[in-house]
Amino acid sequence: MTLAKFTSIYFIFVGLLIGVIAVLPVVFPDKQLFVNNFWVMFGFLAGITYVAYMLVDIGVKRDPEVGVMAIMGSIAVKMIFCMAFVLIYSIKAKGIGLVFLLNFFSLYLLFTAFEIYCLLRNLRHQNLK
């Protein structure tokens, strides 16, 4: 999958997530579903996922033999940056609770699952060659 194709699919995925997130407060008006700075968290995870995929794409195109190392490295970099984000957010916002944990880890899971799905599609096409 080329970077341009990934970018278009990625923007569709992000748009669908934004649509679902916009509808949830309408469906559950009396519940606090999101933290105050939810869109900062969303933008951070969306951006770091895109950067991680670009790193993998560059690594695999340079040397397909070390593509697995590029994949593992990008996942590790993403995880380190996400842990730093959680640390900084927890220092800034006192008393983060269950809502923050559910928001962060659900977004992290969704973006990581999408990234891994796209990476597996790339590996599947390489195995066919």
**Model confidence pLDDT, tens digit, residues 82-122:** 999 988 888 887 766 788 889 999 999 999 999 889 888 87
Give the model confidence (pLDDT) of 29-72 as tens digits.
888 888 888 999 999 999 999 999 988 888 888 887 777 888 88
Dist. CA 83–CA 60, nearest whole Å: 26
Comparing C-alpha atoms, which of 40, 25, 21 is closest to residue 110? 21
pTM of the model: 0.86
Contacts of residue 118, defined as CB under 8 A and 6 or more positions apart, other chains included, come to 1, 6, 9, 10, 53
